Every structure is written in structure tokens, then in C-alpha cells.
Amino acid sequence: MVLRGKFIVIEGPDGAGKTTQSKLLSQFLHSKGIKYLYTREPGGTKTGDKIRDILLNPESKISNMAECLLYASARAQLVNEIIQPALNEGTWVIADRYLHSSIVYQGMGLDLGIDIVEDINKIATTGLMPDVTFLIDLDTNTSLGRINRSKDRIESRGEVYFRKVREGYLNLAEKYGMIKIDGNKSVEEISLELIKNIPLK
Ligand SMILES: Nc1ncnc2c1ncn2[C@@H]1O[C@H](COP(=O)(O)OP(=O)(O)O)[C@@H](O)[C@H]1O
Ligand SMILES: Cc1cn([C@H]2C[C@H](O)[C@@H](COP(=O)(O)OP(=O)(O)O)O2)c(=O)[nH]c1=O
């Protein structure tokens, strides 16, 4: 019997350092001889990348519920096509964002409500939940200050929205057993904290 791969999710506001840490964690798993793959949301499949273009394009006109459902659709495709098959064959998955992002950005940030976003995502993911979830927490001024490219549709929402996002993550952390990490620490320190909490056994 093949041992199921571990499913690791890295969450946090835009600019918190998720992509940087995903890369370092990938290197760590590689050094341990663990087969892994990296996914980022929205996207990670051909269909998901098309949905990503719609979602992030500042020209798109999308209602709040349509936005929530589009993120969930991209996620459903990612779970079905990539994540679940990988875990089944023993490959680990490092996911740069998962359903927690929808609960926070759409459920709390857009006031759609936590319950409905949870329900939609339970269906979209067939209930697949991570083995470990990290929350890289960072104050809004610092995280927004780290984004030095042109802003996409979500990033253009401004400071008030992103304060709700940050608070949302902090409020959700306990319910979802997220391991909270201070995003103000150095890249190396954060990486060590992640590695310390990786279930190698
Ligand atoms: N711990 C850190 N301290 C300072 N700068 C960081 C840290 N982690 C990441 N950065 C920088 O912040 C920016 C956003 O990082 P990134 O990993 O892309 O964040 P995210 O994926 O969460 O949006 C990048 O320029 C990156 O080099
Ligand atoms: C996965 C997901 C992302 N998002 C947002 C967060 C980001 O602003 C955007 C994804 O952009 P991306 O550039 O990949 O994220 P980051 O800036 O963190 O590296 O989509 C949601 O609003 N809901 C979701 O469910």
C-alpha cells in the first residue's frame, strides 16, 4: 500500500511571504528525498489558469457571489486534477493558498458570510483538508508595501479591505488549527519555523 502524501497549506495576506516560503519548503522536502509538488491558487491547472485571468483582471465585472464561486471552481479543478491524485500516489503537496483564502477574502472581506463560503468549498474540495496549515501573519502596511508590481483586481481593493483580510485570518486561525508565524521575522527564521512543524513521520 502506498502511504498517502502530506498536504501542507501556506496562507496569509498578499505580500506576507507565502511564495518565498513555499520555495524554501520545496527545497527542504527535495533535500529529504520527498516527492512533492507545488500549487498556487487561483490556478494550477489549464482551466484554473483561465479562471485566474478572469478573477484578477481589473477589467472584469464580477459579483461577490460569482467571485466566490469562481475561486471555488478553480479549486475544485485543482483538487480533482492535481492535489488528490498526487496525495493518493504518495506525493506531498505544498499549496500556496487553499480554501481558507476564500473564507477570509470572500466570506469576511466581502461579507458573504463564513458559513456559506465554507459550505461551497466543502463541496468544491470534496472535503479534502490539509494535514498542516501555516498562517504567515503580517500587518497590513508592511504586507501591502511589499507589493511592488501593478495591482490586480483584488489588490486594488485598498487598505480597509486588507485590514479585514488580516483580522479575518487571525480570527479563523484557531478554528482551522493554523500555525501562526510572525511574517516580520527574517526569511530564514520563518523557514526554520515551518520546517520545525512539518510532519516528517
Ligand atoms: N520575511 C521577509 N522579510 C522581508 N521581505 C520578505 C520576506 N518574505 C518575503 N519578502 C519579500 O516580500 C515580497 C512578497 O513576498 P512573496 O513571497 O511573493 O509573498 P506572497 O506570496 O505572500 O504574496 C517579495 O519581494 C519577497 O522577496
Ligand atoms: C485562493 C484565493 C485567492 N484570493 C485572492 C488573494 C490574492 O489577492 C489573489 C491571488 O493573487 P496572487 O498574486 O496569487 O496572491 P499573492 O499576492 O498572495 O501572491 O486572489 C481570494 O480572494 N480568494 C481565494 O480563494
Per-residue pLDDT of the chain (201 residues; tens, 9 = 90+): 789 999 999 999 999 999 999 999 999 999 999 999 999 999 999 999 999 999 999 999 999 999 999 999 999 999 999 999 999 999 999 999 999 999 999 999 999 999 999 999 999 999 999 999 999 999 999 999 999 888 999 999 999 999 999 999 999 999 999 999 999 999 999 999 999 999 887
Alpha carbon nearest to ligand 2 atom 22, residue: 105
Distance 153 CA to ligand 2 centre (A): 10
DSSP string, 49-62: HHHHHHHH-TT---
Quote the CATH superfamily of domain 7-196: P-loop containing nucleotide triphosphate hydrolases (3.40.50.300)
Q: So what's the ipTM on this one?
A: 0.97
Burial of 10 (0-12, 13-18, 19+ CB in 10 A): buried
Q: Determine whether the annotation assigns residue 15 to a binding site.
A: yes
Angle 143-147-148 (CA atoms, 0-180°, nearest 5)? 145
- Where in the chain are the domains? 7-196
Q: Ligand nearest 138 Cα, by number?
A: 1
Q: Determine whether the annotation assigns residue 16 to a binding site.
A: yes
Angle 102-191-161 (CA atoms, 0-180°, nearest 5)? 30
Residue with cell 508565524: 181
Q: Determine whether the annotation assigns residue 12 to a binding site.
A: yes
Distance 201 CA to ligand 2 centre (A): 31
DSSP state, 65?
H
Q: Ligand nearest 52 Cα, by number?
A: 2
